[in-house]
Chain A
Amino acid sequence: MLLQVDGLRKTFGRRVAVDGVGFALDVGEIVGFLGPNGAGKTTTMRMIAGYLEPDEGAARVFNIDVAQDRRRAQERVGYLPEGAPLYGEMTPWTFLRFVAEARGMTREAARHAVRRAAQDARLGDTIDQPIDTLSKGYRRRVGLAAALLHDPMLLILDEPTDGLDPNQRHAVRDLIRRLGEERGLIISTHSLEEVEAVCTRAIVIDQGRVVADKTPAELRDEHGTLERAFEALTRGEERA
């Protein structure tokens, strides 16, 4: 099993952000995380990526417990944080070289990996421009390239198409589909259309819990449309 998540729980002060999330993921699956803002999607992804430690439960990547053996698990995970934070004064080339070398690659291996990832993420001519001068779409692609550098089997992408224009979104979705053929992917999104377009499975999260874990087609059959499924499953919680 590529990823096994059991009973993940995380609280911040008195607020329960994630409350017993569990699911499994195999190669070839592209899972869409759906849910209102504050439902616990990002916190769950952060725990799988090893940025946060769970209060209870465990995430296992290739049977390696992320909290127990963080670095070994992280070697196998590619992660795009929400908003794709980057170092603006660097160019994609120097930035990706940094990430590759910080991941322990030799200079030669890093150069090779950066070239491949830049190609996969279609960075094109922007590779030598300061990141601060790039459009949102290209910045997102740089973040994607950084997640792909070490050719991980598991990719966790937090809102990979958020804030992109339709063309950019289309390009990123193509990339996600391509990557999903021989890897496992989790993407979080607010776009139901995106779930239909790329995901093989949809996990709906509400108030820190998994309220549905089905294929997009099953959700549609049960509720008519994905919009209605989303509304019915996450009903009425407008929270701060």
Chain B
Amino acid sequence: MKKRPGVSSMLAVYRRELLSYLTTPTAYVFVAVFLFAIGLFTFQVGGLFEARRAELMAFFAFHPWIFMVFLPAVAMRLWAEESRSGALELLMTLPAPTWALVLGKFLAAWTVAGAALVLTFPLWVTINILGAADNAAIFTAYIASFLMAGAYLAIGSAMSALTPAQVVAFVLAVIVAFLLTALGLPMVMDFFSGFVGGGVAEAMGRFSLLHHFDAAQRGVLEFRSIFYFVSLIGLFLGFTALAVDARRGG
């Protein structure tokens, strides 16, 4: 009668969490703000049309920076809200493994992020009308962007598990996300190379989200970048599970 233990719990948590995103206005507001911000940056700052090229570089280049703020806002409630309302006690007295709860919640948030990305399709349509776009490259960049979104959400999930205050979770997540992103900026790498030497600074830069997204947005998604994003997701979801389980210890 039973499915594999944990899987059905995970799916139940996923469905509930997604439903909760869809029935509260916050998710819609976040997605709307995201779409507005990405449009603003792409056209005003990136100058998509002025470049007169049928590509979306000006669009993708801003993803790390917008995700850095947008996705912690999506993820901040995942665990913080549960501990604030007391529903965490309900979840943790279900005979479900912690990973099923963590993964179910994360996947729901990732679905919201995916939906936000899908809703940027008018840009893709526009660019195809304007010229012969490299759709394979665009598709690759979308996949990379989605993977990167997962990493930001996993960071948000981990920070949300640390505190019952959503705002604190949000701020912590933005800080961690910023550090992991900005390490790849030439400016930041130059700054660090003064202290630790150019080699170390560059190695640190390779650990940044920016570094791995850079190549991908040009349409080259390397295996090690996929590996990097997936590892970050795994790492921070592992943190989340540890933080949640630590509650049992009191």
Identify the closest chain A residue to B97 (Cβ): A71
State whether the Cβ of A99 lies closer than 8 Å to any Cβ in chain B. Answer: yes
- Interface stretch (choices A100-108, A164-172, A174-182): A100-108
Question: Across the interface, which residues of A come within 8 angstroms of B20, CB to CB?
Answer: 87, 89-90
Contact A85 B89 (CB under 8 A): yes
State whether the Cβ of A46 lies closer than 8 Å to any Cβ in chain B. Answer: yes
Most chain A beta carbons < 10 A, residue from B1, B12, B249: B12
Given known pairs A75-B95, A101-B11, the reply for A53 and B248 (CB within 8 Å) is: yes
Contact with A along B89-115 (1 / 0, CB 8 A): 111111111000000000000000000
Given known pairs A83-B86, A146-B90, the reply for A104 and B19 (CB within 8 Å) is: no
Identify the closest chain B residue to A11 (Cβ): B250
Distance of A12 Cα from B249 Cα, bound (Å): 9
Contact B3 A52 (CB under 8 A): no
Given known pairs A104-B2, A109-B1, the reply for A51 and B92 (CB within 8 Å) is: yes
Question: Across the interface, which residues of B come within 8 angstroms of A109, CB to CB?
Answer: 1
State whether the Cβ of B23 lies closer than 8 Å to any Cβ in chain A. Answer: yes
Contact B23 A102 (CB under 8 A): no
State whether the Cβ of B5 lies closer than 8 Å to any Cβ in chain A. Answer: yes
Contact count A vs B, C-beta below 8 Å: 91
Contact B89 A102 (CB under 8 A): no
Least CB distance, A72 to chain B, in whole angstroms: 7
State whether the Cβ of A60 lies closer than 8 Å to any Cβ in chain B. Answer: no
- Residues of A in contact (CB 8 Å), total 35
Distance of A65 Cα from B2 Cα, bound (Å): 23
Contact B23 A103 (CB under 8 A): no
Least CB distance, A104 to chain B, in whole angstroms: 5
Least CB distance, A59 to chain B, in whole angstroms: 13
Distance of A46 Cα from B249 Cα, bound (Å): 11
Contact B95 A85 (CB under 8 A): no
Q: Determine which of A74, A75, A85, A106 lies in contact with B85 in the assembled complex, contact meaning CB atoms within 8 Å.
A: A85
State whether the Cβ of B196 lies closer than 8 Å to any Cβ in chain A. Answer: no
Q: Determine which of A12, A82, A85, A105 lies in contact with B87 in the assembled complex, contact meaning CB atoms within 8 Å.
A: A85
* A residues adjacent to B (C-beta < 8 A): 10-12, 46, 49-53, 70-72, 74-75, 77, 79, 81-83, 85-87, 89-90, 94, 98-99, 101-106, 109, 146
Given contact pairs A75-B95, A83-B86, A98-B16, a sample of 12 additional A-B residue pairs in the complex whose CB atoms are under 8 Å apart: A10-B250, A52-B250, A53-B250, A86-B90, A90-B20, A101-B15, A102-B96, A103-B96, A104-B9, A105-B8, A106-B3, A109-B1
